[in-house]
Amino acid sequence: MEEKTCCCGDKQTLRLEEERKRLVNRLSRIEGQIRGLKGMLERNAYCPDILTQSAAVNAAVNAFNKELLASHIRNCVVRDVKNGDEAVIDELVATIQKLMK
């Protein structure tokens, strides 16, 4: 996988089409779950039922994050370290710390 810089200076990662589709599908399912939560609230569903569904959304987002993080480490981080760019390690640590809040 290749990383490039776009016109605004932000990094981008070029993903394999299969990986991109898999991640987009996960996000689409999460989006559906969020719409379901909104619908439950609009229908005045029982609080514990909404909270149970909310916990499922959190688990789905965490699964998405784990998959993306693993891909990032296997591809971007390994590539950058091999190319002598060890700053990517500090970036990775900061990213993991944000995920653990």
CB 27 within 8 A of CB 64: yes
Q: Give the pLDDT of residue 9.
A: 53
Band (3; pLDDT cuts 50, 70, 90): low
Name the residue ranges covered by the structural domains of the chain.
16-99
**Average pLDDT of the residues in 5-11:** 54
pLDDT at 10 over 90: no
Q: Give the pLDDT of residue 8.
A: 44
pLDDT at 41 over 60: yes
Name the CATH superfamily for 16-99: Metal-sensitive repressor, helix protomer (1.20.58.1000)
pLDDT at 24 over 80: yes
Write out pLDDT tens, residues 46-99. Answer: 999 999 999 999 999 999 999 999 999 999 999 999 999 999 999 999 999 999
Token pair listed for 100? 């653990």
Which element (helix H / strand E) includes 29?
helix 17-42
Smallest CA-to-CA distance from 76 within 19, 11, 29 is with: 11
CB 39 within 8 A of CB 57: no
